[in-house]
Amino acid sequence: MIVFQKPKSLTDAELHYCPGCTHGIIHRLVAEAIDTFDVEGKTIGVAPVGCSVLAYNYFRCDMVEAAHGRAPAVATGLKRALPENVIFTYQGDGDLASIGMAETVHAATRNENITVIFVNNAIYGMTGGQMAPTSLPGQVTQTSPYGRDVKTAGYPIRMCEMLSALDGPEYIVRVAVNNVKNVRNAKKAIEKAFRNQIENKGFSLVEVVSSCPTNWGMTPQNALKWIDENMLPYYPLGVYKDRSGQEAAK
């Protein structure tokens, strides 16, 4: 009996992520969802600019590399051209919540029938650890060396809270991957985000609170602990919007 195997929709390419980075887990969860619904052959993924820029090498489905922040716009084009296909984007916090904020908000408000995986690790990883739109108050980064000063750098953006204020989107949820229980919930949320699209329900965004041991300057274990102690109080986990679910409950 096979108790553990690589999802079919991941390639054999070796991941380039740093030791302890949670991108690997999230890639696996996305691939598992694709496998669960048996849609690899009609899935097109959109990779961002950031740490997961090379995601197009890791997913076995067709892939498109987007310009920084533009993945939701690119996905919109793909979905409008191929409405029967499954389109997902995979984006980090700089990509989705800073430079791509407009594309994110408008894809959400149009209820574009796509799945967005939003990896929030509160830092720009690929470029070496600069302050992100989601960096916490006081968080030390290369470009906030004295800690994020909210007086000059403003406050972190809580994407789920913001997007759930819109009438448009179908499903907005925040999960984490720092312990087994959270990974299980993340798996369920990502599956639902794909199922929603397959059932033509519309825009689903899964924010995955993630770690960056390299740029946080921590061991992988401490980074996961730091999520519990610092990230989750600012970014509470939970379902922020589930339109069909809420309508069904009425």
Q: Which residues of this protein are in contact with other proteins, per CB under 8 A?
A: 11, 40-44, 46, 53, 56-57, 59-67, 70, 73-82, 85, 102-103, 105-106
Q: Residue 127: phi, psi to the nearest 5?
A: -90, 5
Report, in Å, the least distance between residue 194 CB and other proteins. Answer: 14
Report, in Å, the least distance between residue 209 CB and other proteins. Answer: 27
Report, in Å, the least distance between residue 86 CB and other proteins. Answer: 8
Tell how strand 115-120 and strand 204-209 pair up.
parallel
Instruction: Rank residues 65 and 161 by Cβ distance to other proteins and give the closer one.
Output: 65
Triad 38, 40, 44: Cα angle to 5°: 140
Q: What Å distances lie between residue 129 and 23, 117, 186, CA to CA?
A: 16, 21, 25
Instruction: Rank residues 34 and 176 by Cβ distance to other proteins and give the closer one.
Output: 34
Report, in Å, the least distance between residue 214 CB and other proteins. Answer: 19
Instruction: Rank residues 114 and 237 by Cβ distance to other proteins and give the closer one.
Output: 114
Instruction: Rank residues 118 and 226 by Cβ distance to other proteins and give the closer one.
Output: 118
Report, in Å, the least distance between residue 31 CB and other proteins. Answer: 13
Q: How many CB atoms lie within 10 A of CB 8?
A: 12
Instruction: Rank residues 81 and 150 by Cβ distance to other proteins and give the closer one.
Output: 81
Q: Where are the beta strands (DSSP E) in the chain?
A: 43-47, 62-65, 86-92, 115-120, 123-124, 130-131, 171-176, 204-209, 238-242
